Amino acid sequence: MGSEPLDPIPLSALQHWCYCPRQCGLIHLEQAFDDNVHTLRGNALHARVDQPGVETAKGARVERALPVWHESLGLIGKADVVEYSPGGAPYPVEYKQGSRHKAAAIAACDDVQLAAQALCLEATSGRAVPEGALYYASSKRRRVVSITPELRQQVVTVAGEVRRMLASGLLPPVLEGAEALLHCKGCSLHERCQPEATSALLVRLRADLFTPDQS
């Protein structure tokens, strides 16, 4: 008998996990999501992009809002745009709000989501997808991303981590230190998460745990 199919994980969960595991847990475990200026801009962008359809541009077929999946990895989602070469090879283009000049750690989260789309397209089309692109609305420019072996492995690793979190039902801890400074400020779930208050509580608990009993 074959193994049971995996419950599908949304491709967006991989990007959320890379940005912050706790954010991923709040969204995909607790179904919590709050808007801020960044998410509202992103929603407006995808309202224009997420209209399913097929068109021809410069002699090549272009599909928008294309459903994609990968059965063995248990991934499911939607590719904003897939451009096809004259030979039929797919080329995913993921739309993001903001500038293409993001901090490297933030941009890397987008790369993982794009690579997951590439793996899904490979699995369903049988064609190699060695490259894709991220289109940033503020810059109106693309950033080409090579789908390297390291990036492919990261997709597999992150999918496994998200799956373990969902199976455990446990919310990951808040980010601390430099990661918190970079990621928490722009997070729409900042008020719900309260990372500063949680971090302060952890500091007090650790201090109590390691302080010798003077009695």
List Cβ<8 Å contacts ≥24 apart for 64-71. 68/11, 68/117, 68/120, 68/121, 68/124, 69/8, 69/120, 69/123, 69/124, 70/116, 70/119, 70/120, 70/123, 70/124, 71/5, 71/6, 71/123
Taking only the tens place, the pLDDT of each residue in 157-167 is: 999 999 999 99
Taking only the tens place, the pLDDT of each residue in 176-190 is: 888 888 888 878 888
Q: Where are the alpha helices (DSSP H) in 51-103?
A: none
Q: Spell out, as residue ranges, where the chain has pLDDT lower than 50.
A: 1, 36-38, 40, 42, 44
Q: What's the pLDDT score for residue 34?
A: 64
Taking only the tens place, the pLDDT of each residue in 60-90 is: 899 999 999 999 999 999 999 999 998 899 9
